[in-house]
Amino acid sequence: MKVSRREFVGTASCAAAASLCAIPSPAFASSNYVGRSTVRATLLDLGTNCALPESLAGMRAALGSSHRCIAASDFPSSDLSNVVIVAAAGSAIPEIFLAAAELLAQGATVLWESGAAFLNSADFAQQQALTKKHFGISIGQPVHVWTQSNSRKLKSGAPMQGPRGMRAIGHEQIAYVKYRWPLEADVRDYSRVFPVSASGGRAIAHWNALPVAWSKNFGEGRLIFLGSPLGPALRAGDGEANALFQSIMGR
C-alpha cells in the first residue's frame, strides 16, 4: 500500500507547527513596509486554513532563526521582511489574497504555496477564482501523482511516465517535480499537483508535461506560485528541496 509523506508526518507536524508559530506581531501600519525589517522572511501561519501543517513545519525548519512567523489575524503587519511566505494556503479568506497582492505591488517577493489541491470541490473552485482575480494565475484540476504513477497518460494525452516526472526505486515509481529556476532541482512530491499558467511570467517547474509552479513580476514585486507543495519535502530533509528553497530566499 502506498502511503504519502503527508499522511505519515501530518499528525506530528500539526502540533509542532502550532507551537512554533505562536509569535506576536505588531498592528498594521499603512506606510510602505519594504526594507523595514532585518529578518530574512516572514512566514504566514493560516491556522486551520493551512492545508498541510507539515509544509508549514518544513518551511519553519528550513528558515531557522532568521524569520518571523505571524498569524493570519496579524497579516499584514508593520514589520514584514521583503520576502513573505504563505505555506499551504487552503481555504484562505479573500482578505489574505488582497493583502498579498498589495504587498507585491509595494515591492515584496511573495512565495505562495497553494494547498488548493487538498480542498473539497467547492473550496477549490473558490481558490481558483481568488487566485485568478488577485494574482492573474490560472489553476487546473489536481492530479494525484501516486494514483497516476502507473498510468501511461494524463486525461489530456500527455505521457505520465518517463525521466521528467518519475523515477524507479525498487518496484515503486516515485514522483518528482523538476525545477528550472532559480536553480535546477528534482524535488520529490508526496501527494498531489495541479497545473498553473498565466499570461505573464514563466513556468519554473514541471511534473511531466504539466507546469506546476510559476514566477511572474507583479507591480514592483515578484510572485512565486507553487502548485506542488515544497514544504513536505523540506520537512523530510530533502537536500535538493532545501537548496531550491534557500536559493528562492536569496532572491
Grid coordinates belonging to 114: 497553494
User: Cα dist. 50→15, 16, 178, 184 in Å?
Assistant: 13, 14, 24, 28
Q: For residue 191, what pLDDT is reported? A: 85
Q: For residue 39, what pLDDT is reported? A: 58
Burial zone of 145 (CB within 10 Å; 0-12 exposed, 13-18 middle, 19+ buried): buried
Q: For residue 131, what pLDDT is reported? A: 97
Low-confidence ranges of the chain (pLDDT < 70): 1-39, 78, 147-173
d(CA 108, CA 70): 16
d(CA 245, CA 22): 23
pTM, two decimals, is 0.78
Q: For residue 147, what pLDDT is reported? A: 64
Domains of the chain as residue ranges with CATH: 5-249 (3.40.50.880)
